[in-house]
Amino acid sequence: MKIASITCCILFLFSFQNKAQNTNNPSVDGSIKKQNIYQFKVKDLSENVFDFASLKGKKIMIVNTASKCGYTPQYKDLEAIHKKYKDQGFVIIGFPANNFGSQEPGTNQEIETFCKLNYGVTFPMMSKISVKGSDMHKVYQFLTQKSKNGLQDSEVDWNFQKYLINEKGELIKVLKSRVSPTDPEIINWIKG
């Protein structure tokens, strides 16, 4: 009788522990279930709805941008790789943000004008958002939280940080601002 009681208690505790783990973790096997970028709809600089689901099967680079930053000239290289690889299943999505040194103070219209006049930007640019803090946009919550992206926790350290998304809409790499858009690692990934 004692053995049966002990066995019953052990099974109960084991069952309770598994339920607790599954509550904290969306996957049954204990691993973190990857979400994907396709769940999001955002507004572009012209206030039109942009649906990430329209990018299924493409490689995506997401970049938080700013008009008055030391890295702002990266717009030139971003546009160059956009033009070169856009017909090969690659797209860049820019998210203007004013989180660092107030380096993106403009309105959506001012940002759009700046990007077109100074760098000829034709890749999709979204409405200005927050990429960190209590008002962090949901797209950036996905990009920076392992519990959502299944890859890693990260913090947006500065303007022009890059997030690489594979053809399944999954985050696969985070690159710091100083990494040039034409870095061989990025180009090889686009071509690969």
> Catalytic residue positions?
69
Q: How far is CA 125 from CA 2, 17, 36, in A?
A: 68, 46, 20
Distances (CA, A) of 19 to 5, 26, 164, 168: 21, 11, 33, 29
Looking up tokens 């955002």 gives: 42
- Per the listing, tokens 């066995």 go with 7
SS3 for 2?
helix
160 in Cβ contact with 65 (< 8 Å): yes
Measured distance CA(102)–CA(12) in Å, rounded: 55
Q: Which helix (H) or strand (E) covers residue 18, if one does?
A: helix 2-24
